[in-house]
Amino acid sequence: MREKLEAKKKVMERMSMCSKLAKEDAKMQQEQLSDEVRSLLLAGTALSVARKRLQESNRLLAGEKGYVSLRNLQKRLRMRQQYMISQVSLLYPVKISIGPAQEQELELFPSSSKSGSSSGSKPVNQGSLTILGLHLTLLPFKKMSFFSDKREVQRSATALGYVAHAASLIASYLKVPLRYPLRLGASHSFIIDCAPSIEPTSSDPSSSTELLTSMKHVEFPLFLEGQDITRAAYAAFLLNKDLEQLLNFIGVRSLGPRHLLANLKELVRTIQSSEYKDT
């Protein structure tokens, strides 16, 4: 009986130890649960505050000083843009010259992709477009020689200078940074192509695989006098890409790379339309 009693005492001691360990574990879990409950209460309070702020914001947005005010402000801004760009159209009017002359607009890179041109768009056939009375013709770029008509070359350079200045003004009014910046100089303007330049980081031929890429600014002339014909044609191509960027900004597709003046005319026409003010 004494042995049985000792065995029962040992069983009771083990059970007491297990009970003590279980109690400590339960206490630890209770403390963790209390921390989680406090965190949940704090999160609930923060969520309630955020919900109230959201409701207040929705109320203000739906009120007269909210979305309606924003739309009115946007409408006034676009009306202001329309007025300022109408002044540009008065400075540099693009019109159709109807007459015996069959000169077409400056044709740039005939093999260029037409993915940006809208379907069914055709060049104006009632006459050639002019800017401030000057034609932008293909003649100087195709038949440039020592005996070429220097006045025709100068007129084309002046017309390109007009287009460049008009594009620069419109971009500033629309707050659009042009992809190809312009350096204005009237009939001797330049356009800048920020092309990446890749150079070796070391003169050691063994390290030629390690290349440093930086942006190199290259200027291309928007005139032919004393310049390479290819560089001047590429400059006009980049200028048309700037006009295409502005057209895309207002949600209009470009007429293509061959229609420099037509793209400028379409840009001004779209901005001055009533739909632009209400979009």
Asked whether residue 100 carries a pLDDT value surpassing 80, the answer given is no
Q: What is the DSSP letter of 199?
A: E
Locate the domains of the chain by residue range. Answer: 1-62, 69-96+128-197+216-277
Looking at domain 69-96+128-197+216-277, does it have CATH number 1.10.418? yes
Q: What is the mean pLDDT of residues 268-274?
A: 85
The answer to whether 183 touches 190, Cβ cutoff 8 Å, is yes
The rounded distance, in Å, linking the Cα atoms of 40 and 276 is 50
Report pLDDT digits (tens) over 173-208.
988 898 888 888 887 888 888 766 555 545 555 444
Report pLDDT digits (tens) over 106-163.
444 433 333 444 444 444 443 487 787 777 765 445 555 444 557 777 888 888 888 8
| 124 token code pair | 């104006």
Coil vs helix vs strand at 250: coil
In the chain, how many H helices and how many E strands?
7, 6
Per-position b or e across 248-265, b if 16+ CB within 10 A of its CB = eebebbbbbbbbbbbbbb
pLDDT for 154 equals 81
Report pLDDT digits (tens) over 209-249.
444 455 678 888 877 776 667 888 888 888 888 889 889 98
pLDDT for 5 equals 87
Q: What is the mean pLDDT of residues 257-261?
A: 79
Amino acid identity for residue 89 in this structure: S
The rounded distance, in Å, linking the Cα atoms of 41 and 83 is 57
Tracing tokens 């909210």 back to the chain, one arrives at 66
Give just the sign of the alpha carbon dihedral 116, 114, 157, 218.
positive
Pairing of strands 94-97, 190-200: unpaired
Q: What is the DSSP letter of 187?
A: G
Q: What is the pTM of this model?
A: 0.59
Lowest mean pLDDT among 28-42, 45-59, 97-111, 188-202: 97-111
With pLDDT > 90 as the criterion, what percentage of the chain qualifies? 6
**Of 19-28, 66-75, 227-236, 257-266, which one has max mean pLDDT?**
19-28
Tracing tokens 């290259």 back to the chain, one arrives at 218
pLDDT for 130 equals 77
Give the chain's mean pLDDT.
Answer: 76
The rounded distance, in Å, linking the Cα atoms of 271 and 279 is 11
The rounded distance, in Å, linking the Cα atoms of 88 and 116 is 25
Q: What is the mean pLDDT of residues 25-53?
A: 91
